[in-house]
A and B are shown apart, each in its own frame.
Chain A
């Protein structure tokens, strides 16, 4: 690949998605774009890039989608979800007064495992929330990932990454080789294509936001911008889950650390005291 081709592609990908491609990522770019080249029966990555430069919107979307790392799993890293179940959900239950409704955002939901893990966790304790209105929203820049997330159909491989087998039996049925999430859980989750670089305010407010293993691909400025926007979406005692060891320290004053090793942060508003301790230790 010519250096100028790489520069052009890297700038386009960064402007559109936030993903930073340093020069040593030529192989990554080629690896992810070759399937697109083959699909569209083009001659080369260069020809594909020329199409992007000419402003072909459909092609641009396809390329951004192909460039995204979508690796994910159910209950990824496990402990953050234990924290959500044992600390955040009980807090929501006792602190919302007359407002019997809450909303959770999975930003960078990929193929849905994260949002569905959140929904199953809530479902597990649904007897604590009789009559409550609960919404889990999943957003991702990748339309193909969102289409998969909306279906809630997973392979045998997928359902073994992180999903306890009893949870599998409880919420899935098997249809031939596929595992199908039941309608009750699937119905709690709404997934839609959305770019984190765009306005997020119209998504509404959230009681907790999962944005795990997404910001790691961004540069500092983009990360700060997105964190600021996410902070504005959180309710006063809202919680932000980043990936393990992902940090906001030195990046954003909108959050305070709850358990940085687990990537757990609380909304922090300088003018208001912290309303509760979310720092209960997560023990299994």
Chain B
């Protein structure tokens, strides 16, 4: 089964995103900021990471940059999932190593269609 790590400081959003991704057939872990997410990665590298931008301790941008430097960190699909919804932010995330970008609010259909085009769903 494919694994996903959901990184967001809001417990509600983590729960909503986890439920959607579980229903799509993934095993899901959660972390509440970039630092905790990086720690989780030392145990196991998931197939997919859904990451918020604005979080305390370590934000999504720094997380993505650090992740891409880790061994195996280039293979993970990284999807930003954030309220930042303007073109400069999107470009910045892509430059930091994001593969896809979801602007909140989102729903299961948005997540599903993005995972299909990323080749993570059939």
Contacts and interface: CB of A to CB of B under 8 A. Distances in A.
Contacts of B113: 73, 75, 78, 160-162
A78 B86 contact: no
A161 B117 CA distance: 10
B36 interface: no
Contacts of A73: 109, 113
Interface residues of B, number: 19
Interface in A57-100: 73, 75, 77-78
Contacts, number: 40
Given A157-B110, A160-B106, A174-B87, A165 B101 contact: yes
Interface in B106-122: 106-107, 109-110, 113-114, 116-117, 119
B76 interface: no
B91 A174 contact: no
Interface string A247-284: 00000000000000000000000000000000000001
Given A78-B117, A169-B87, A169-B91, A164 B100 contact: yes
Interface in A150-170: 156-157, 160-162, 164-166, 168-169
Size bracket of the A interface: 10 to 19
A169 B90 contact: yes
A42 to B, nearest CB: 33
A77 B116 contact: yes
B17 to A, nearest CB: 14
B19 to A, nearest CB: 18
